[in-house]
Amino acid sequence: MLTKRIIPCIDVDLDDDGNPAVYTGVNFEDLKHTGDPVEMAKRYNEAGADEFVFLDITASAEGRATMLDTVSRVADEVFIPLTVGGGIRTREDIKETLRAGADKVSINTAALRNPDLVNEGARAFGSQCIVISVDARRRYDEAGEHYVEVDGESCWFECTVKGGREGTDVDVVEWAAEAESRGAGELFVNSIDADGTKDGYDIPLTKAVCDEVSTPVIASSGCGGPEDMYEVFTEANADAGLAASIFHFDEYSIRDVKEYLDERDVPVRL
């Protein structure tokens, strides 16, 4: 049986002085400075993380390139798979990000606007390098394709772009299936509704995607502790659980999470 992966993530932006810094927030808003990206990368590499995710959270919205100098410095500190996202728009961007030290690239806005980029990236660099990220939010209208029952109400999940700032009217489950068919090697599912709440992952969202595709799914947003990881693995069948705040603020260590899961017969790499 494949082991479930535990993945810390840093959301990186430029501070008031123009220097890269890690931020955390709630529902993609109210961002607060958390630390230095290179130092945090080094810490998680030593802590036993299975992989590491670096997200440049304003590159797409601001129309700027990913901060590749910082990516390169982070890559020098981690010896586990590194995924980098934010501001990746073209095949050349993918190449330069991989050249800077990333093992995979995470693409959201550009892939939705130009789905052929998924095909091009998979052909040029291999499906294992192409991660399609979705920033999903719940909608309770009749514009969707796949509906789930949540707290007695029927809803669907919409893909958003520019860090959750703009809607697209694209159904997350439909897009996940299309991205898989185009060659995406992994799907990174973020919930705007759950982000930063520590109330648990969005199980209906994650399960809807996992039920639709065979491509590995990373569950993201809302993790408040090991029990939430257990829930998303056993109820939604996610392949990996991503978390930020619980690790950043030392509420739990990666070892704490893995030991909790191992004791409950969830396969993890200890």
Residues 265, 259: Cα–Cα separation, whole Å: 10
Which of 50, 93, 135, 202 is catalytic? The answer is 135
Active site residue 135: yes
Mention every residue, 6+ apart, whose C-beta is less than 8 A from residue 142: none
Which of 11, 50, 93, 195 is catalytic? The answer is 11
Active site residue 195: no
Residues marked active site are found at 11, 135
